[in-house]
Amino acid sequence: MATLSEMKFLSTLSVMEKLHTLRNHHGLSQSDFARLAKTNLDTIVEIEEGRMSYTLTQENKLRAHFGLCGLPLSDEERAVFKEERYRYRDFIRAGNLTAAREAQKDLENIDNLEPCDPDMVMLSKIFEAQMLMAEDDCKSAEEKLIAVQDHLSNTSKENQYHYNYSMGFLNCKLGDYNSGTMFFEKAYELQDDNANLLPEEDLRLYHNLALCYGYIEKLHKAIFFLNLSLQKQPEDRNANLYLHLGIGLTLSYIKVNHIREAEKIIEKCMIKAKSTKDDTNIGRILFCYGCLYEKREDWDLAIDYLDQALTYHLKGTDNYCAALFHKIQCIIKNRKFADAERELKIAKDIYTKNELWPIYFEAQGYYLTISRRISQNNEVASTYLETVAIPYFRKNHDHIAALEYCKFLSRHYEKSGQSKKALHMKSMVVEIYDWIYCL
């Protein structure tokens, strides 16, 4: 039987060598093979010593015995079969699961190929795991990927790439973006060893890395991969994806205070969104303008853009709540406290119906209390921000929100003579900066 290190090279074997490998794997003698192929022992000896070849009839009998009908043995068959596996994968990515299930029927006996072509078997199983993810069966997908991971060091770079990509996607689907990022990074490192990858494959990987780094707010990494994604995605090819990437890049630039770069991108995005009459993205772009002017402390212009953004989104949605939150934040920073209090009362009927946003708006109410310097309520407000809001923001990877509230509390504690608490908040500011800006 071939060792794992030997199996690494079995995908390059001839048909005769693969059948010989199968014979050894199953513990069959040359006499057994002669009987199965309906020939004599001398013929098998001649074939295995390279002086003869199997006839088509003999080869088909051996294929049938090992359950290899419809599975590839020759180089030509392997090339076609591999192309079909990628077509199967493309059906999954396109959401055409009916066609994918039909193509999956070819894989019923794929394990029979393991002894003589483990690379092809592994690639097929990795794509099967992607199918299970598309069917929301993440548990089975994880089991299938775990089953192949012990053999990764002995498989092709191509398979290693697809394994790490699939594990990255699975972890993100399960909500573990840190692990997802790690696996996508491993796939990225394997790119140079996979020159046959299509540009679409690069784009998917860059896009997923950008999403991961954006979600966990490693912003310089997010910016790097968003720029790579935009280079691979011409704006006239897929307008919605171009806008998605452009808006993500704009917000990342704003968060790290690269305002000029943000302006360049967002102007192009607005032209594209208006030309395609894409109201949802127009609303998101107006939100970006609001955040941009909030960063510049032009409160009136920021509020105007955020008000416009609100008209493009349904009440209670994440996009609506984000615009409303930033609008109220600008009103507070503009020290129009009565207006902010009134807006927060109106907002309560909206944000309470969304799981993500209640703590944001509750924190904003306490932010308002401290900003108004109503001293009898400051301790309750500061305790809520420090023990509830900031940990919640950090847990949900909104490090920018956590950073703003840490800075705010640091100033508040200094003004109120609470030097130890101020120092603690400053240390948290440094910690969050290290996270956001760490390359």
pLDDT digits (tens, 9 = 90+) for 42-58: 999 999 888 998 999 99
User: Do residues 321 and 350 touch, judged by C-beta distance below 8 A?
Assistant: yes
What is the per-residue pLDDT for 12? 65
What is the per-residue pLDDT for 194? 65
Distances (CA, A) of 266 to 164, 292, 308: 33, 10, 16
Dist. CA 10–CA 15, nearest whole Å = 11
What is the per-residue pLDDT for 5? 37
Residue 31: helix, strand or coil by DSSP? helix
What is the per-residue pLDDT for 375? 63
What is the per-residue pLDDT for 1? 35
User: Do residues 385 and 203 touch, judged by C-beta distance below 8 A?
Assistant: no
User: Do residues 437 and 403 touch, judged by C-beta distance below 8 A?
Assistant: no
Reference 368, options 395, 338, 388, 390; nearest CA is 338
Q: Low-confidence residues of the chain, pLDDT below 50? A: 1-10
Q: What is the pLDDT of residues 309-359, one digit of tens each?
A: 999 999 999 999 999 999 999 999 999 999 999 999 999 989 988 888 999
Dist. CA 432–CA 438, nearest whole Å = 10
DSSP state letters, 269-313: HHHHHHHTT-HHHHHHHHHHHHHHHHHTT-HHHHHHHHHHHHTTS
DSSP structure class, residue 257: T
Tokens, residue 342: 């009134």
- Contacts of 351-360 spanning 24+ positions with Cβ under 8 A: 351/316, 351/321, 351/324, 353/316, 354/316, 354/317, 354/318, 354/321, 356/318, 356/321, 356/396, 357/318, 357/321, 357/325, 359/388, 359/389, 359/392, 360/321, 360/325, 360/389, 360/401
Q: Which CATH superfamily is domain 4-79 in?
A: lambda repressor-like DNA-binding domains (1.10.260.40)
